[in-house]
C-alpha cells in the first residue's frame, strides 16, 4: 500500500446465541431464558488508535476510583472490566461512562439480525426435505457476507478483526465469506477493482474496536429482546444500517433501518409467543 492509500478498519462481533433446540429436537426459542434473536455487527472506526487510547484511559480512571474498590468485576483476577470493557459484565455505573465516550469515537455500525424462531423452522424444513442440518457457522458466515457486501469497495485496503468465537478463529471460512461478499458486489455493479483484504481474529482485550462493537450490539440487543430503547438511543446516530432479515411483513429481504427509516420500538415486529 502506498502512503496515499485509504485504509478502513472493521471490527466484527456477535450478540445472542444460536441455540434452537433441546436434546430431543424440540424448539427452545420462546421458552424462559432463551434468546429470541441472533445479531452479528460490524463497526468501522476512523481512528482505531485514538479509540484504544480513549478506552484505556477511561478504564484506568475507573479502576483507580475508590468507589469501585472491592468490586469483583474490577479485580484483575476476574478478567472482566479490569481487563477490558464488556457490556454484559460491566457495572451499570461503568456502562454509563462507556456510553458517554462511545459517540465521540465516530464509529459507523451495521448489524444483521436473525430471528431464532424463523431459523428453527428453517432448520426443521431443511432436515425433513434435504436431510441437512443448519449449522451455527453457516448462519454466522451468511450474516458476515451480507454485512460486508457493500463495504469492501470503499478503501484500498480493508483490515477486518473478528472477535474469536469459542476456541477457533475459523479464519479460512471467514475469508471465504468476505470474498463472496466482494464478488457479489463486483458482479452486481460491474466493478473490476479489488482492494487488499487483511483478516485476523482476536480477543476484545487485545483490540479496542471489538469492545466498541460489543457495546453497540448490547444496546441493540436490549432493544429487541427487552423492549428497552434508552441504551440504543444513546448510540442511535452511529448505527448506519440495521437489517432485520426475518421481518418480511413488507419486503421479502426483511426490514432495513437507516437514516431514511429510523429504528424505533414501535416498528419492531413482535416475537411469537
Full DSSP string of 35-94 = -SEEEEEEEEES-HHHHHHHHHHHHHHHHT-GGGTT-GGGSGGGTSTTT---TTTS-HHH
Residue 25 inside a domain? The answer is yes
| Predicted confidence (pLDDT) per residue in 222-260, tens digit | 999 999 999 999 999 999 999 999 999 999 999 999 999
Q: Is residue 2 part of a domain?
A: no
Residue 248 lies in a domain: yes
CATH classification of the domain holding 209: 3.30.420.10
Domain ranges, residue 236: 7-267
Grade residue 192 by pLDDT with cuts at 50, 70 and 90. Answer: low
Q: What are the tens digits of pLDDT across the range 3-59? A: 678 999 999 999 998 889 888 888 899 888 889 999 999 999 999 999 999 999 999
Looking at residue 58, its pLDDT comes to: 98
Does a structural domain hold residue 116? Answer: yes
Sign of CA dihedral 227, 13, 28, 135: positive
Q: Is 273 within the bounds of a domain?
A: no
Q: Is residue 272 part of a domain?
A: no
Q: Which of 164, 239, 148 is nearest to 197 (CA)?
A: 148
Pairing of strands 157-163, 7-15: parallel
pLDDT of 194 reads: 65
217: pLDDT strictly greater than 70: yes
Residue 163 lies in a domain: yes
How many structural domains compose the chain? 1
How does pLDDT run across 63-94, given as a tens digit for each residue?
A: 999 999 999 999 999 999 999 999 999 999 99
Amino acid at each position: 500500500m502506498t502512503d496515499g492509500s485509504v485504509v478502513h478498519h472493521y471490527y466484527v462481533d456477535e450478540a445472542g446465541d444460536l441455540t434452537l433446540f433441546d436434546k430431543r429436537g424440540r424448539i427452545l426459542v420462546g421458552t424462559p431464558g432463551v434468546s429470541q434473536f441472533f445479531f452479528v455487527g460490524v463497526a468501522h472506526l476512523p481512528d482505531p488508535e485514538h479509540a484504544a487510547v480513549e478506552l484505556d484511559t477511561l478504564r484506568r480512571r475507573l479502576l483507580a476510583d475508590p468507589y469501585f474498590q472491592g468490586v469483583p468485576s474490577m479485580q484483575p483476577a476476574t478478567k472482566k472490566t479490569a481487563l477490558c470493557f464488556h457490556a454484559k459484565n460491566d457495572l451499570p455505573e461503568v456502562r454509563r461512562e462507556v456510553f458517554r465516550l462511545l459517540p465521540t469515537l465516530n464509529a459507523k455500525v451495521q448489524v444483521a439480525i436473525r430471528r431464532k424462531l424463523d431459523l428453527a423452522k428453517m432448520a426443521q424444513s431443511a432436515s425433513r426435505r434435504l436431510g441437512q442440518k443448519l449449522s451455527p457457522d453457516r448462519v454466522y458466515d451468511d450474516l458476515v457476507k451480507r454485512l460486508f457486501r457493500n463495504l469492501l469497495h470503499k478503501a484500498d485496503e480493508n483490515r477486518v478483526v473478528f472477535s474469536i468465537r469459542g476456541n477457533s478463529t475459523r479464519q479460512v471460512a471467514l475469508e471465504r465469506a468476505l470474498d463472496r461478499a466482494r464478488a457479489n458486489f463486483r458482479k452486481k455493479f460491474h466493478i473490476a477493482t479489488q482492494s487488499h483484504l487483511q483478516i485476523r481474529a482476536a480477543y476484545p482485550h487485545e483490540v479496542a474496536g471489538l469492545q466498541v462493537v460489543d457495546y453497540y450490539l448490547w444496546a441493540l440487543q436490549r432493544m429487541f429482546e427487552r423492549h428497552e430503547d434508552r441504551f440504543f438511543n444513546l448510540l442511535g446516530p452511529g448505527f448506519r444500517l440495521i437489517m432485520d432479515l426475518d421481518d418480511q411483513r413488507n419486503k421479502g429481504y426483511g426490514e432495513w433501518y437507516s437514516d431514511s427509516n429510523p429504528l424505533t420500538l414501535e416498528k419492531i415486529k413482535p416475537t411469537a409467543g
